[in-house]
Every structure is written in structure tokens, then in C-alpha cells.
């Protein structure tokens, strides 16, 4: 039992039976026939002896429906490079209440402890993705940042549901024996000072977020969604727009960002189909630091790369202290990326896959489509700006 460890990024067998000696999911986690049921979504692990209003741990599973996509029908976001996961609750179309589901109630009880900063009782959350039948992939041990009550669409109907925001801890190995010790604890003292180092530090008030440093230079496959995937369908909606529509949609997307205070303004469309926008990002108190930025975008097909000459044009326009944002529905050549890195240009390159990822995080895109309601709002703003002329 003691050699059973979940390692970050590693795949494990999931036969669906806790009695199967080869099962490394239910078979490992369950103890004395008790623990995790073979179900989708949120799987709480109860205490065997303690009578407390929370669970010993919570297991989350994201089913990947298409290769190369981190989304499922509820649009979970698994962003390991930045150590964060956004996970939808279990509510579905036809449910009477958001708390009708055991998993949702487990997450809400965990949120109560987060709000009270009662770290001794906050349960660890282990996240797994299911890239294929018969296997799961371990994505790390997480802590709950916040739980929001919001809406999502299921079967064409709006459904009230929870959406959990998680921080992935910087921990490579999670012993299964630690989960068992929590499940069988007979006192609250046994829940503190145990487990992986980053979990012990979390209980002491520190959060060590996972950071995965990806290669600075990305090849086209990492800048574009897989052809034929749902992410690719979203990107195709953008590339099918005319330049003015794409300009309005991209600026509207940036306006949705709420991490920092900001303003953003479009300039007039250019004849070659590109566009410019400018504005400011202001960090909230106590920083209160403002960054001016200029932006340019190119609506290219996925086979038309952005070469250095396009990026250089934006960089040449930056004044001292300004930042550049270059957005494309396609991808950047290796040389274009190398010049930005080698010369230290204060510029971010946003490729097609990045746009789709932002739209999903902002809930502008769901499934294979961009929200029709959001697109109508963008169109109305565009018509208002042009005085009603299309």
C-alpha cells in the first residue's frame, strides 16, 4: 500500500472496479470497501469515524471528449502551466436544485471552510482527467480558491450550477496512504501536519502554486487547436468573420477580462484587414500600476503564419513604457517568436489556440460555438459605433 503514489502527469489504469487488483483508481483509493463510487464528476471521500460537515478528500474527474482539448461538455479548464483548474459542478438539465447533487454539496461544504479559513478541515482535492476509456491521468492535488454559483447550458436549456476555481499545488507525488489516513482519522489533530509538504504548508497559510515552464518557442501544433475538434470549430467562426467583425469581437473579448481594471478602444479598420486597438491595464490596489498597450491583430487562415515583418511593425510603434499585444487566428513563425524573445520586446503573441482558451475561460465559447447572445451584443456595439451602417 505504501508504494502507491499518484505522480503528476502520469496515467493510471481505471477498470471501473474497486475489486480488480489491476485497478489503480477505485482499487487504490477505496479502503475496506468504502470510499469512491464509480461515477462521473465530483466524488467525495467520507470520514469513517469523524462527524464533521466536510469530507476527508474530494476527487474530481474531467472527461476529455476530443484529443488535444482540455474541455468537456461542462467546459472544465485544466491549465497546468499556470497551476489552475476551473471545474463545473454536477448539476444537469432537469435538476430541481443545484444542491440536489452529492458532489455539489461536497464542494459547497468545502467552500464554507474556505470562507472561515478553517484550513484544518478544508479537504484536499485531487484532479484526474480521463483522456481515454480505461485510464485516468493525475493532474495534481488542489486547493479550492472559491466556488461561484452561475449558469451553464445543457441540452439547450440554462442550468444553475457551481463553478469551482482551484489552485494546483506544486507537488509531484501524492501518496494514496495519506488519503487513507485522512479517511480513517479519529480526531481533528490527525488531519494537521500530515501529507505532502505543499499541503502542510497550505495548512500553515502558504500556497505553493504549480508552475510548469513550457518551451518559449511553440510549434504550430501548440498554437492551433486540433483540426476537426470543437476548439477548431470555434476558431473557424472567428476566421469566417469579416475584418471589422473580427476587430469588434476581439476588442470585446479583451473587455471581458476582470483580473485588472482596464479600458480599451478600437481604432479605425485598415484596408489590409488588420486592426489596431489601444488602452490601459491598471493593477488593483495596493499596486495601482498602469500599463499602456497597443494591439494589432491579423485574421489569417490556419495555414497562413504570422512572419516577423508583421510583429516588427507593431513593435516599431511602441513608445517607451508601452506594451504590445499581437493577436492572430493563425500561428507565429519560429523566427517571429525568436525575435521577440531575443530582443526582449515587451510584446505578447496570442495565437489561435490562445484565443479559444480565453473565450472558454470567459465563457464566451461553449462546446463548438461562440455564444450567440455575446455575438449579438458585439454586433450591436459595432453598429452603434458606425452609426447603424453595416
**pLDDT range class, residue 174, cuts 50, 70, 90:** very high
**Do 12 and 137 reside in the same domain of the chain?**
yes
- Whether 244 and 352 map to the same domain: the answer is yes
Buried b (16+ CB within 10 A) or exposed e, 55-87: bbbbbbbbbbebebbbbbbbbbbbebeebbbbb
166 and 292 assigned to the same domain: no
224 and 195 inside one domain: no
Question: Does residue 10 belong to any structural domain of this protein?
Answer: yes
Range name among 114-123, 264-273, 378-387 with the lowest pLDDT average: 264-273
Residue 209 covered by a domain: no
Q: What is the mean pLDDT of residues 305-313?
A: 94
Q: Are both 285 and 175 inside the same structural domain?
A: no
Query: Could you report the per-residue pLDDT of 83-110, keeping only the tens digit for each?
Result: 999 999 999 887 789 999 999 999 999 9
75 and 158 assigned to the same domain: yes
> Quick count: other Cβ atoms within 10 Å of Cβ 306?
23
Instruction: Write down the pTM of the prediction.
Output: 0.78
Do residues 10 and 126 both lie within one domain?
yes
Chain segment 155-166, per-residue pLDDT in tens: 777 889 999 999
- Please, what sign has the CA dihedral across residues 336, 342, 345, 346? positive
- Rounded to whole angstroms, the Cα distance separating 7 from 4 reads 10
345 in a domain, yes or no?
yes
Residue 214 lies in a domain: no
The residue from 178, 203, 228 where one domain ends is 203
**267 touches 243 (CB < 8 A):** no
Q: Of 175, 203, 231, which one is at a domain's C-terminal end?
A: 203
Cβ count near 216 (within 10 Å): 9
DSSP per position, 35-65: S--S-SSEEEE--SS---SS-SEEEEEEE--
Tens of pLDDT, residues 225-251: 999 998 999 999 999 998 888 888 988
Position 215 in a domain: no
224 in the same domain as 197: no
Whether residues 236 and 321 fall in one domain? yes
pLDDT per position as a tens digit, 10-67: 999 999 999 999 999 999 999 987 888 888 789 999 999 999 999 999 999 998 754 3
Q: Tell me whether residue 356 is in a domain.
A: yes
Give start and end residues of each alpha helix (H) in the chain. Answer: 26-29, 102-115, 176-183, 197-203, 230-239, 243-255, 308-317, 334-342, 352-361, 372-385
Number of domains in the chain: 2
Q: Is the pLDDT of residue 297 over 50?
A: yes
Average pLDDT on 191-199 reads 94
- pLDDT > 90 in the chain, percent: 63
C-alpha to C-alpha distance for 199 and 213, rounded to whole angstroms: 22
Q: What is the CATH number of the domain that holds 371?
A: 3.40.1350.10
* Distance between CA atoms of residues 85 and 106, nearest Å: 17
Q: Is residue 297 part of a domain?
A: yes
Domain range spanning residue 95? 5-203
CATH number of the CATH domain containing 175: 2.30.280.20
Residue owning grid cell 467520507: 46
Claim to verify: residue 199 and residue 224 sit in the same structural domain: no
Residue 247 and residue 145 in one domain: no
Q: Tell me, yes or no, whether 210 lies in a domain.
A: no
pLDDT band at 68 (very low <50, low <70, confident <90, very high): very low
Q: Looking at the structure, do residues 242 and 363 belong to the same domain, yes or no?
A: yes
Amino acid at each position: 500500500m505504501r508504494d502507491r503514489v499518484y505522480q503528476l502527469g502520469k496515467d493510471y489504469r481505471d477498470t471501473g472496479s474497486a475489486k480488480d487488483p489491476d485497478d489503480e483508481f477505485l482499487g487504490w483509493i477505496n479502503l475496506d470497501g468504502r470510499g469512491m463510487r464509480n461515477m462521473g464528476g465530483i466524488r467525495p471521500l467520507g470520514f469513517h469515524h469523524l462527524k464533521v460537515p466536510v469530507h476527508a478528500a474530494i476527487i474530481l474527474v474531467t472527461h476529455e471528449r476530443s484529443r488535444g482539448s482540455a474541455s468537456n461538455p461542462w467546459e472544465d479548464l485544466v491549465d497546468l502551466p499556470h497551476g489552475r483548474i476551473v471545474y463545473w459542478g454536477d448539476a444537469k438539465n432537469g435538476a430541481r436544485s443545484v444542491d440536489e447533487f452529492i458532489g455539489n454539496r461536497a464542494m459547497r461544504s468545502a467552500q464554507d471552510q474556505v470562507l472561515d479559513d478553517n484550513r484544518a478541515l478544508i479537504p484536499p482535492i485531487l484532479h484526474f482527467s480521463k483522456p481515454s476509456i480505461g485510464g485516468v491521468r493525475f493532474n495534481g492535488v488542489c486547493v479550492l480558491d472559491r466556488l461561484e454559483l452561475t449558469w451553464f447550458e445543457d441540452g439547450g436549456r440554462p442550468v444553475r450550477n457551481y463553478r469551482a476555481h482551484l489552485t494546483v499545488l506544486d507537488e509531484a507525488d501524492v501518496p494514496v496512504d495519506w488519503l487513507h489516513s485522512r479517511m480513517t482519522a479519529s480526531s481533528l489533530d490527525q488531519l494537521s501536519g500530515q501529507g505532502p509538504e505543499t499541503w502542510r504548508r497550505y495548512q500553515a497559510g502558504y500556497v505553493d502554486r504549480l508552475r510548469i515552464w513550457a518551451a518559449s518557442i511553440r510549434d504550430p501544433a501548440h498554437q492551433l487547436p486540433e483540426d476537426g475538434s470543437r476548439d477548431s470549430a470555434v476558431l473557424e467562426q472567428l476566421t469566417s468573420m469579416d475584418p471589422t467583425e473580427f476587430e469588434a469581437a476581439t476588442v470585446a473579448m479583451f473587455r471581458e477580462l476582470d483580473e485588472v481594471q482596464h479600458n480599451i478602444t478600437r481604432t479605425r479598420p485598415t484596408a489590409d484587414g488588420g486592426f489596431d486597438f489601444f488602452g490601459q491595464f491598471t493593477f488593483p490596489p495596493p499596486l495601482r500600476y498602469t500599463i499602456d498597450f497597443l494591439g494589432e491583430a491579423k485574421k489569417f487562415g490556419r495555414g497562413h503564419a504570422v512572419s516577423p515583418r508583421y510583429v516588427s511593425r507593431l513593435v516599431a510603434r511602441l513608445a517607451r513604457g508601452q506594451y504590445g499585444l499581437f493577436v492572430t487566428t493563425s500561428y507565429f513563425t519560429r523566427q517571429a517568436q525568436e525575435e521577440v524573445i531575443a530582443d526582449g520586446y515587451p510584446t505578447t503573441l496570442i495565437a489561435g489556440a490562445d484565443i479559444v482558451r480565453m473565450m472558454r475561460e470567459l465563457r464566451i465559447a461553449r462546446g463548438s460555438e461562440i455564444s450567440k447572445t455575446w455575438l449579438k451584443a458585439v454586433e450591436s456595439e459595432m453598429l452603434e459605433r458606425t452609426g447603424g451602417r453595416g
